[in-house]
Amino acid sequence: ASVPTPEWVKPKLGFDPDGSGYHFKRQEFDPEWDNDAECTIADMEFGDADTEEDRRHKLRVLQIYNTRMDERDRRRNFLTQRNLIRVKQFQALERRRTAPERETMARLRVFARYESSPGEHDELVDGILLEHRLRARVQELKEYRRHGARTLADAEVYEIEKRRQRAAAESAQLRARARLAASDPAAA
């Protein structure tokens, strides 16, 4: 079994052991996006014997190559500015969320590309999750009110009674299954 790398060592390693392939010291990914873009110009040479048509063609290939490099930089900047390269850290944060919160985050993830600043999407998600929690709390308080609770102490008594009734119903259900299994062995 491998020993996990301590946090204070990670910056000295020069790469992200999380598996994202990002090298912090070089500020690049391995492999990069469109990693074989250099292959198109690797053997290209401008010679004295080149015709004007050859030169125009080679310059056009270089323009296409530069466009691909610009896209590579744009993608790298997108990931680094939004701190999306720390995969394990992100997964640990996501694990702390409840299942409905994770589902909401997954549905909202597609909108991250439209946000103009790095923290804007996180603020949007946090705001929506807060709204969901507040709505759930309001529903809970409405349930207390429907059942006659006027204070938080009354609500606590109601919750205790509700849990007691639920436990009693579950144990009655288990006893009924046990009686059924004892009387009819084929039903078990």
Q: Any idea where the domains of the chain sit in the sequence?
A: 1-96, 98-146, 150-188
Q: Which residues pair with 22 in a beta bridge?
A: 29
Task: Report pLDDT for 2.
Answer: 47
Mean local confidence (pLDDT), 142-171 = 95
Distance CA 84, CA 106 (A): 15
Distance CA 187, CA 180 (A): 7
E strand intervals along the chain: 22-23, 28-29
pLDDT digits (tens, 9 = 90+) for 11-64: 444 444 555 666 666 666 666 767 778 778 888 888 888 899 999 999 999 999
Task: Report pLDDT for 6.
Answer: 44
User: Is the pTM for the entire model greater than 0.85?
Assistant: no
Task: Report pLDDT for 31.
Answer: 67
**Cβ count within 10 A of residue 144:** 19
| Coil, helix or strand at residue 111 | helix
Q: Which of 60-74, 107-121, 141-155 has the lowest mean pLDDT?
A: 107-121
Task: Report pLDDT for 105.
Answer: 86
Indicate if the pLDDT at residue 188 is higher than 80. Answer: no
Produce one character per residue of 3-26: b if its CB has 16 or more CB atoms within 10 Å, e if not.
eeeeeeeeeeeeebebebebeeee
| Cα–Cα distances in angstroms (integers) from residue 177 to residues 173, 183, 185, in the given order | 6, 10, 11
Mean local confidence (pLDDT), 96-112 = 87
